[in-house]
Structure 1
Amino acid sequence: MKLFIASVLYLVAVTSAQNPNKCSLRSADIPRDFLDMSIGCKKEVRRQIQEEINASMQYLAMGAHFSQSTINLPGFAEFFFKAAAEEREHATKLIEYLLMRGQLTDDVSTLIEVKSPPTVSWERGLDALKQALRTEAKVTKSIKQVIASCENDSHDHTNDYHLVDFLTGDFLQEQYSGQRDLAGKISTLEGLVRQQGSFGEFLFDKTILG
């Protein structure tokens, strides 16, 4: 038994020494009959994953900005950090969807690109909320573009009913609710700032967001 184990360890060591950085296992020969997502629709979903990551990075920048000791608005910071996590969750859901449909068999390192957000500082919390609403509107428009493309793929002349239903039911509902919530917060904060000045922003951070 000891000799057998020693032999196995020797073979593993030799194999690793010959090619230490590359796995030599063959890919499984899986029938491709179940892969029915069109090329155009697949590209649109991958594009949307990048949109969600971009939005997440923007919200991370917002959260970090309001966390600074010189600004110290923890309510704003927590709100935007939570928004960043939600966008990453959306990206994860789309990745899991592609996996379910068997559409992530290629190099996943090309799936996303981490980009620096266009804006990294804000003079007021109100400015950040308004940019957040514009960001959400952009993401919503992008999701609707995916739906339109997959509802009638001009390349393959197909309709991906399942993906369209998934995006319409899960994603658009959350987008519209989030946009309405941001619009309400902007309205409330503008009223407080109009009446109380900078103290209104402090009250909003502590009472509404805190």
Structure 2
Amino acid sequence: MNFIYGFLILLGCLSITPEVYSTCTINEARIDVKWVDMVGTCTKRLKDQVKLEISASMTYLAMSAYFARDSISRPGFSKFFSHAADEERDHAIKLIEYLLMRGDVTENFQELLAFPLKVSSMTWADGSAALKSALAKEVEVTTNIRSIIKHCENPGENMKNDYHLVDWLTGDFLDEQYKGQRDLAGKYTTLTKMMETYGPIGEFLFDKKLLNGEV
């Protein structure tokens, strides 16, 4: 019903003359901002985390593209890092949705996306180097989440503890981060051992296992 009502308003605006069209706008509602109770420093740190998640997503996308090159041809690694890029993007979306729920992303929203994206490297020596780099990136993300939790649990004098944010980050993010780190560490160890045993063919075999979801 709300969609139909909005569509009728839009249709009405489109049907009027150009001279009147400029006045046919829907202003934002004036809402009491007292319900917005996130501490400003927590809001800023959470927005910075959005940027970090997007940066991680772009890093994994660069890895996926690198291993998909015809001169590299490691489809398993490409598929794995493409999935990792999707996960980091989804994390950024979840954080934005949380900020919207708390009412703290209504202004200057473009700041979350309009920032320079930097990928530290566009090439990697081999699969193990990429996995090691990915693990370091995940540790960076986890460390930043932990710093947000620590700060927002006790943001300072005369500022309330944001237990909801702390609980949400601890339950929704840290568990997944630790599992992801363990998975990367295990893959790195397995690949290293295979390369030590079989040489370059070890990476080829590991890539096939990645592609088939066997490791």
Q: Which residue of 1 aligns with 2:122?
A: 120
Alpha-carbon shift at residue 155 of structure 1 (Å)? 6.3
1:7-29, CA deviations, whole angstroms, 9 ceiling, x for partnerless residues? Answer: 98234x2234x58xxx8432211
Alpha-carbon shift at residue 156 of structure 1 (Å)? 4.9
**TM-score between the two structures when normalised by the length of structure 1:** 0.90
Residue 16 (structure 2) aligned to one of 5, 10, 24: 10
Q: Are the aligned partners of 2:80 and 2:210 in contact in 1 as well (CA < 8 Å)?
A: no
Q: Which residue of 2 aligns with 1:182?
A: 184
Question: Does residue 1:146 correspond to 2:148, yes or no?
Answer: yes
Runs of 4+ residues deviating >6 angstroms: 5-8
Q: Which residue of 2 aligns with 1:74?
A: 75
1:39-84, CA deviations, whole angstroms, 9 ceiling, x for partnerless residues? Answer: 0110110010011011001000000000001111000000000000
Q: Which residue of 1 aligns with 2:101?
A: 100
Moved more, 33-42 or 172-181: 33-42
Counterpart secondary structure, 2:58: helix
Q: Following the alignment from structure 2 to structure 1, what is the Cα–Cα distance between the partners of residues 96 and 12? A: 42
How much identity, in percent, do the aligned residues show? 47
Q: Are the aligned partners of 2:42 and 2:152 in contact in 1 as well (CA < 8 Å)?
A: yes
Q: Which residue of 2 aligns with 1:28?
A: 29
Q: Which residue of 1 aligns with 2:204?
A: 202
Alpha-carbon shift at residue 116 of structure 1 (Å)? 2.9
Counterpart secondary structure, 1:82: helix
RMSD: 2.0
Q: Are the aligned partners of 2:50 and 2:92 in contact in 1 as well (CA < 8 Å)?
A: yes
Q: Which residue of 2 aligns with 1:129?
A: 131
Residues 121 and 15 of structure 1, relative CA distance in 2, 3 Å threshold: farther
Q: Following the alignment from structure 1 to structure 2, what is the Cα–Cα distance between the partners of residues 167 and 67? A: 34
5+ residue gaps, structure 1, are none
Q: Which residue of 2 aligns with 1:46?
A: 47
Residues 48 and 7 of structure 1, relative CA distance in 2, 3 Å threshold: closer
Q: Which residue of 1 aligns with 2:175?
A: 173
Letter in 2 for 1:143: I
5+ residue gaps, structure 2, are 1-10
**TM-score between the two structures when normalised by the length of structure 2:** 0.88
Q: Following the alignment from structure 1 to structure 2, what is the Cα–Cα distance between the partners of residues 31 and 6? A: 30
Residues 155 and 24 of structure 1, relative CA distance in 2, 3 Å threshold: farther
Residues 144 and 14 of structure 1, relative CA distance in 2, 3 Å threshold: same
Q: Are the aligned partners of 1:38 and 1:156 in contact in 2 as well (CA < 8 Å)?
A: no
After superposition, residues 54-69 of structure 1 pair within 5 angstroms as 54-69=55-70
